[in-house]
Structure 1
Amino acid sequence: MRKSLLLTLLFILIFTFAACGGSQEPVEEAESVEGDTADTTETTDTDAEPATADIVATLTIESWRNDDLTIWQDIIIPAFNAEYPNIEVIFAPTAPAEYNGALNTKLEGGTAGDLITCRPFDASLALFDAGYLASLNDLDGMSNFGSVAKSAWITDDGSDVFCVPMASVIHGFIYNKSIFDEYGLTEPETVDEFFTMLEVVEDAGEYAPLDMGTADQWEAATMGFQNVGPNYWKGEAGRLALISGEAKLTDPEYIAAFEQLASWGNFLPSGFEAQTYPDSQNLFTLGQAAVYPAGSWDISLFNDQADFELGAFKPPVPNAGDDCYISDHTDIALGINANTPNPEAAKIFLNWVASAEFAGLYSNALPGFFSLANVDVSIDDPIAQEFVSWRGECESTIRNSYQILSRGEPNLENELWRVSAQVINGDITPAEAGQQLQDGLESWYAPSAAAGEVAESAVGEDMAEDGYLARAMAGEFDGTVVTVLGTMVDEEQLKFEASFAPFEEATGIDVQYAGSKDFETSINVRVDAGDAPDIADMPQPGLLADLTRGGKVVDVSTFLDMDKLQSNYNQSWLDMATMEGPDGPIMSGVWHRVSAKSMVWYPKAQFDAAGYEVPETWDEMMALTQTIADDGDTAWCIGIESGAATGWVATDWMENIMLRTTSLENYDDWVVGELPFASPEVKNAAEVMSELWLNDDYVYGGVNSIVSTFIGDSPVPMFDDPPKCWFHVQASWITGFFGDGLESGVDYDFFYLPPIDEA
């Protein structure tokens, strides 16, 4: 049977088996206090439908964010009007608790504004289903958002998106650094360390160790259960299992989350049962509490009111070494009133909201509300930056009650408020809490695999390592063998295999790697024989392009989420992985590592002892080469033997010299074959190279040894005593061949191959 070859420019096994779920959000009552998360990153923003001179309009924005009025009036609207002066924008917020009712009344009466601030999930979905929100499928700016970002404002079948995502919020803990310094406390990483830290503060008796009340209830669920819980139910995998019916709220992982909350009661302020959300904020900003279970939306208030330095730590994991998960929750978006008299102006405004300019303005004007656009946003506030940095350390999920599970009664989100507060108060046990929630859910909700598929499809396959990984972690692929062929052998192979060992242990997938010094020959023979590996760790893009043209390579864009890739890679990397197949261009692989080249390695300790100085120009380097020759030594260690791939080291030298002697345009033309090797530019580079390579006085072992010396052996003579050669040009990986007991910066160092033509 013919086997297709999945060639990856870099090892992509984990992503190959990764796909994740999405998230959704529930009830109106739960939406009035804060806002939440999603999935941001980096790509280019799209400016579609530019305003034309004849579009003059006044747009009114409906919103519950009355705290943001000044920011809209002083920062956001003026920035928009700088580009679109003929479109007046009025931000007209309603009190949060009154927003849903007031908005529904206006929409029913035909008096609502042109733009509607959208709460996440079902509240806005209901407005769309009722015909009050317009579909935004044709809005160019929507291309600037990944599927996770859009998940809270898209129909269950994924056919219509109806709001432009604006921001998410992240859960964690904010602490008083002065109190931590006073008691010598450090940020906890595990649950045991967390409670040990709280006990230190409790024993001192001067401050409240943990600052939260249960009078309003919602904090107990939002900053309590949904904050620490994902570390127990494993984020998206557990959340989606709850929707599909594969998990229940009575399962051990949910009871464990409630057990942690039950222990919080020992460390909360006296009278916490009557303490409201504003009370908690005031107590913390007055310096009377050490740690505050937080949503990132609290950051702005604390910056304004606290006169001490703040710190932040992510939710501690149950056990050292556990993977961490954060609640990174889609919260706020902006849609178009389907009955607006100004649809074109509204689209212009929403395309601007989808831009990088808006993302930067909004994220910095409201620290703790994180842009959902695929743009690189620099966040100035250090605490907000700390919160958002956890996306790179942990898997993101959303609150598990917000998608599908709060559409009936009793509403799971509201029930979570109640039971979470009761657990902390000591009124019910963790087991009773789980049972009450499960009984309430089962009274109206019939879980099914279809519901789980709806939940997962709503966010696409790009959260929490994308559903494939969740399925792998659940054991679906246990026992599967995946074969990988690459160039790494010996010590590099051992390190490579060690890097995916945790993946094998967690999934039961057996990754069988084979390394070969004759990779180019091996891969061609195996492909031709119909015995291709599942994955190839491909070091030669040119070879990969040949195999792609021959139809031997799987298009990874057919099973990897492109929004995810675009969020993790600059477009240039994706472009370089896109190659011409027999039926048109495909994405032939995914980069997993790069090596810095143009590095000249030298034996630093002996180089310094000899009194030599690192050259800064090509002429200085050649002069030093001659000096070393005059001293009776050879300056250069050069070897290019690499089995069937012999010669690539020479091409690296030519490329380096071309980059230093001609224009980038000429270099690019040379790469694609439009600048011939017989051109003056290429000939000049070859002549510059030959001055060094073809001089027996400069090359250790003489010119004839270059072809027969293995690339990994060629730098070793630098570390003889005395050195037999002093310089070696190679990428960063070559240090693995230097030998044992050598220390970077002491025994060896590098400088970049100097410029040749300064012009």
Structure 2
Amino acid sequence: MRPKPLLQALGAAVACALLLTGCGDAGSDTGGTMPSGCEDYQSYGMHKGKTVSFYTAIVAPEDEPHINSYKNFERCTGITVEFQGEREFDTQVQVRIKGGNPPDLAVFAQPGLVKQLVETGKAVEAPVTVTANLKKFWSESWQGYVTVNGKVYGAPLGANVKSFVWYSPKEFKAKGYTVPKTLDELKALSDKIAATGAKPWCAGIGSGDATGWPVTDWMEEMMLRLSGPQAYDDWVNHKTPFNSPEATAALDAAGEYLKNPAYVNGGLGDVKSVASTQFQDAGLPILKGQCTLHRQGSFYAQNWPKGTDVSPDGDIYAFYFPSKDDTSKPVLGGGEFVVAFADRPEVKAFQTFLASDTWANEKVKATPGGGWISANTGMDASKLTNPIDKLSAQILQDPKAVFRYDGSDQMPAAVGTNAFWKQGTNWVTGQSTQATLDAIEKAWPR
């Protein structure tokens, strides 16, 4: 049972979130009257003429739904949000922070990096209004990703399911293929397609300074499936070495697909082309019949060309990346987290809004084409219209599902967003599994 003092503190936090009367956490009213239709925004107060910088890796055209999702917030509070999207975010955000020019708010996909920034004293502890929303709308596991030494430093934004394989339902129907239910069936399907002379898979790990990250997903999928969630957790937290036997088996299993010249790289080149192909473009050969399968997360839905029918009977759809057998259902996923580097009232107000159910539902409205979901329990899932979003929710809600957050995103930055990416790229282009894992193990902070 929760102690009474903590209940009282949480109650006070919620009251602050609702009233903002003298709490000094989500911001204070700077004067003025809100426009009509702003009932859901009264708690944030008026901050006319104030500006908040918001730095992310999201760039055009994917940035439009995000920008539209807080238009009402801007109109009602008087705050101008300066959205700054950059492809080289992962590198540049750290340069800006170390250089003393951090954004007010930044969006991170790596819990490990968030914890590193906290440890260096760069991140600002979240206001009690954000903490109240976090406790109200997210599970304990999600809360843990932004809690360091008992203190909260942010809140999640979106979520995604990574355990997807994209395919063409029309092609499957025409050729008599069936969706595989186990890893053995996935391998058998790949062999069947390769026997026709076609390359069953297409893949790409290019992503600017972040090139190599799709390799980490492949390895993590295999780690979960071959060794189970406990072994996965031990590996992610370095309770077992990065180059353990389980990890070696996982990367070798990924290599049976990514480094198999009979399997890749349909429509794009040979095995080495996997490293030079941008991940955004990697699945597109399916539409031309040049490959049949592409492993990538739910967020990949937004990369299909406009007019593509993404549905169970359409041009493109996805199936769950199968488990070892039908008794388990490991699910790899990820998300983003908002962390502040300033504590001005207007920054607290916007940070609190982004952690609310109001924003989550505004974001659903602003993303009519789909490709976005949240683990925010205040999000109305019945409003989801995109088939992939619905499939994501179905997978996450399956009683057999065992969810694990992307491993590389939880590891120290020197490993998860550096050595793992770089050595994974070297591995695709010819480096051995043993040399790859040994190099990453050496990079782990001592």
Give the TM-score, by structure 2 length.
0.74
Task: Indicate conservation of the 8 Å contact 2:138/2:377, yes or no.
Answer: yes
Q: How does 1:510-525 map to 2 (within 5 A)?
A: none
Residue in 2 that maps onto 1:298: 300
Amino acid aligned to 1:242: W
Is this contact kept in 2: 1:221–1:416, CA < 8 A?
Answer: no
| Preserved CA contact (<8 Å) 1:121 1:152 | yes
TM-score, length of structure 1 as denominator length: 0.46
What CA distance in whole angstroms lies between the structure 2 residues aligned with 1:350 and 1:410? 25
Does residue 173 of structure 1 match 2:165? yes
1:129-144 alignment runs, 5 A limit: 129-139=119-129, 140-143=132-135, 144=137
Residues 228, 316 of structure 1: 8 Å contact kept: no
Separation in 2, partners of 1:298, 1:437:
28
User: Is the contact between residue 113 and residue 412 of structure 2 (CA under 8 Å) also seen in structure 1?
Assistant: no
**1:91 CA displacement:** 1.3
1:412 CA drift (Å): 4.7
1:390 to 392, 395, 399: 395
In structure 2, the residue matched to 1:501 is none
| 2:263 alignment counterpart | 267
1:47–1:355 contact (8 Å) kept in structure 2: no
The 1:399/1:138 distance shift into structure 2, 3 A limit, reads same
Quote the residue 1:209 is aligned against.
200
Tell me which amino acid in the other structure corresponds to 2:339.
G
Q: 1:129 to 1:410 in 2, by over 3 A?
A: closer
Residue identity matched to 2:292: A
Q: Residue 93 of structure 2 aligns with which residue?
A: 103
Provide closer, same or farther for how the CA distance between residues 169 and 417 of structure 1 changes in structure 2, counting only shifts above 3 A: farther
Q: 1:380 aligns with which of 358, 370, 385?
A: 385
* Structure 2 SS opposite 1:62: strand
Q: Is the 8 A contact 1:214 1:272 kept in 2?
A: no
Quote the offset at 1:135 in angstroms.
Answer: 0.4
Equivalent-residue separation in structure 2 for 1:119 and 1:213 (angstroms): 20
Runs of at least 5 residues in structure 2 that lack an aligned partner in the other structure: 1-16, 21-42
Matched letter for residue 345 of structure 2: E
Distance (Å, rounded) in 2 between the aligned partners of 1:256 and 1:163: 36
Please give the alpha-carbon distance, in whole angstroms, between the structure 2 residues aligned to 1:363 and 1:222.
29
SS of the residue corresponding to residue 280 of structure 1 reads coil
Call closer, same or farther: CA 1:130–1:324 in 2, change over 3 Å. Answer: same
Residue 293 of structure 2: SS of its match in structure 1? strand
Residue-pair matches, total: 381
Answer yes or no: is the 8 Å Cα contact 2:237–2:411 preserved in 1.
Answer: no
**Percent identity at matched positions?**
14
Deviations 1:651-708 (A, max 9, x none): xxxxxxxxxxxxxxxxxxxxxxxxxxxxxxxxxxxxxxxxxxxxxxxxxxxxxxxxxx
Q: 2:231 aligns with which of 225, 235, 238?
A: 238
1-structure distance, mates of 2:235, 2:271: 31
CA contact (8 A) 2:52 2:80 kept: yes
Contact 1:285 1:302 survives alignment (8 Å): no
Is 1:70 paired with 2:69?
no
Cα shift at 1:261: 2.2
* Deviation at residue 211 of structure 1 after TM alignment: 1.2
1:332 counterpart letter in structure 2: E
Deviation at 1:188, TM superposition (A): 0.5
Secondary structure of the corresponding residue to residue 91 of structure 1: strand
Q: What letter corresponds to residue 208 of structure 1 in structure 2?
A: K
SS of aligned partner of 1:66 = coil
- Alignment-derived partner of residue 437 in structure 2: 437
Distance 1:407 1:47, change over 3 A: farther
Among 80, 87, 91, the residue aligned to 1:88: 80
Residues 120-159 of structure 1 mapped to structure 2, 5 A cutoff: 120-139=110-129, 140-143=132-135, 144-155=137-148, 157=149, 159=150
The residue correspondences of 1:645-656 to structure 2 (distance < 5 A) are none
For the pair shown, the structure with the greater C-alpha radius of gyration is 1
- The residue number in structure 2 matching 1:554 is none
Alpha-carbon contact 1:326-1:397 (below 8 Å) kept: yes
What's the CA shift string for 1:617-653, capped at 9, x where partnerless? Answer: xxxxxxxxxxxxxxxxxxxxxxxxxxxxxxxxxxxxx
Q: 1:132 to 1:247 in 2, by over 3 A?
A: closer
| Whole-angstrom CA distance in 1 between matches of 2:103 and 2:236 | 35
Q: Structure 2 residue aligned with 1:161, among 149, 152, 162?
A: 152
Q: CA deviation at 1:186?
A: 1.6
* Residues 438/102 of structure 1: CA separation in 2 closer, same or farther (3 Å cut): closer
| Residue identity opposite 1:271 in structure 2 | D
Structure 1 counterpart SS, 2:128: coil
Aligned match for 2:424, one of 417, 426, 447: 417
Question: Closer, same or farther in 2 for the Cα pair 1:103/1:309, shift >3 Å?
Answer: same
Partner of 2:328: 323
Offset at 1:196? 1.9
- Decide whether the 8 Å contact of 1:153 with 1:162 is kept in 2: yes
Q: CA deviation at 1:190?
A: 0.8
TM-align CA RMSD = 3.2
C-alpha deviations, 1:139-172, integer Å up to 9, x for none?
A: 23232333322333332x2x22212210222212
**Do 1:58 and 1:90's aligned partners in 2 also have CA atoms closer than 8 Å?**
yes
Higher relative contact order (CA 8 A, sep 6+): 2
Could you list the per-position Cα deviations for residues 268-308 of structure 1 after superposition, in whole angstroms to 9, with x for gaps in the alignment? Answer: 12424124024413323444321111122211122636355
Code of the aligned partner of 2:63: L
Unpaired segments ≥5 residues, structure 1: 1-45, 447-759
The aligned residue for residue 195 of structure 1 is: 187
The 1-side partners of 2:48 and 2:402 are apart by: 44
Alignment of 1:683-722 (within 5 A): none
Q: Please name the residue that 2:352 is paired with.
A: 351
1:420: Cα distance to partner? 4.8
Q: Shift of residue 120 of structure 1?
A: 2.0
Q: Distance in 1 between matches of 2:160 and 2:433?
A: 26
